[in-house]
Amino acid sequence: MKIYVVQSGDTLWKISQTYGISVNQIAAVNGLEDPTKLVVGEALVIPTPFQQHVVQRGESLWQISHRYGVSIQEIINANNLTDSTILHIGQVLTIPILYHIVQSGESLWAIANHYGTTVSAITQVNQISNPGLIYVGQKLRIPEMTKKTVEVNAYVTNMGQTGANLVAPLSAYFTYVSPFSHRVNGDGSISPLNDELIIREALNRGVSPLLVLTNFVDSSFDSDRAALILRNSDLQNTVITNILTMLKDKGYRGLNIDFEYVYPEDKENYNNFLRKVVERLRPEGYSVSTALAPKLRADQKGLLYEAHDYAAHGEIVDFVVIMTYEWGWIGGSPMAVAPISQVRKVLDYAITVIPRNKIVMGVPLYGYDWKIPWKQGTLAKIVSPREAVNIAGKYGAAIRYDESFQSPFFRYTDESRQQHEVWFEDARSMQIKYDTVKDYNLRGLSYWVLGTTFPQNWPVLEANFKIKKY
């Protein structure tokens, strides 16, 4: 996989010729509605050009797999074959193996660096005895780079069939899916949620559903609701009993607690509540995780941060989701939603008190469109990454890229002469986030939230990681 940034004068045909990939392939991976319209500064995912094989008379899938050194199942998956015993003469099969033709001036080091592998890996798979002796026109097999295995969670706020339809086509990319959310009531009961179809879809596709418990009241997190539960031992026992019942009845595999804006004086109460939850749930085979605000230090002030005890959560629960997004938010001034400079500052603190194998980094799947000059009290509009690019194309805006934030943005003027500033995510910004997961050797990542159009994210994710399943 490569990422290409569109330049002035580029056409999709020109880009396809450069990389040896069809226009349709590039358009499909990037969700391009009109392949003739590209936006300057837009990042395109260029899929890997795999080997192709034309089926000959008498050939079987077993023979073809042995010829190329790949498994039958890999060929079946790459070509969506429903019956592996039926092949047709002249049928073109994609062989999930990559070759490189040596060009003038190339070295093995340059080739290995280009494909994200090593010289030793290339020499071994091609049986090269002297790495310094390669020749122009030589065909080299490029081994697949070793991918880090991670856990991937995805929150979903759409319920019923709509939510299930969001999960189904992306299930291969998830370890967990987390319907948002069940609310804890003042009497210790748990609010119902139309999540049955999502849970069924997840379980049928090898994804573990997590029950998300929040201190939501009406449409926002409520400090008093959290205090009511966290200060009453009897209520806590009732809550935990009700959680266990719901986990068993609905088929959830674990619990994710997202209590936000907890009063600072309830920090230890929250920690003790988590200990009680783990004590009851873990023997039953359920995981327990929490969602944490993005803190820069232990004594960070603010209602959002003070009761979130990183060290205690890291010790008590199975893993934590750190919500490393919303620096740019719907009610704030324009900026990147998840500037990597800020994300890394949070992680720099987190890894000092939480084991790396318990940290799941939050990743946004959306952006915002602000009216500018920005005024206090005005709200931004949520946009999907694909929608953001379409807006730039509609108004002739060139997409720029902030190297400090590692995030794309642009400005435009609409029909009413109102100016706007848009920050969003693209293949480049996601690649940096995935590099960060690898650099910090984290457990994995968690998406907020399914439902936005971002087709190019998934091949970027797949190119970087192997997704853990339970």
| CA–CA gap between residue 173 and residue 333 (Å, rounded) | 33
Report residue 292 as tokens.
């944490």
> Angle CA(3)–CA(409)–CA(368) in degrees, nearest 5?
115
* Torsion-angle region of 321 (φ positive above 0: left; ψ -120 to 50: alpha; else: beta): beta
Please name the residue that has the structure tokens 């995912």.
45
DSSP 182-205: EEB-TTS-B---S-HHHHHHHHHT
List Cα–Cα distances, 463 to 142, 143, 150, 406, 460, in angstroms. Answer: 14, 13, 13, 19, 5
Active-site entry in 260, 387, 421, 425: 260
Instruction: Return all residues near 394 (Cβ < 8 A) that are at least 6 apart.
Output: none
Cis preceding-peptide flag for 181 (omega within 30 of 0)? yes
SS3 466: strand
Instruction: Return all residues near 127 (Cβ < 8 A) that are at least 6 apart.
Output: none
Bridge-based pairing of strands 139-142 and 98-101 is antiparallel
**Strand positions, DSSP E, 11-67:** 43-46, 51-54
Say whether 279 is catalytic.
no
Cis preceding-peptide flag for 278 (omega within 30 of 0)? no
| CA–CA gap between residue 32 and residue 29 (Å, rounded) | 8
- Catalytic residue list: 260
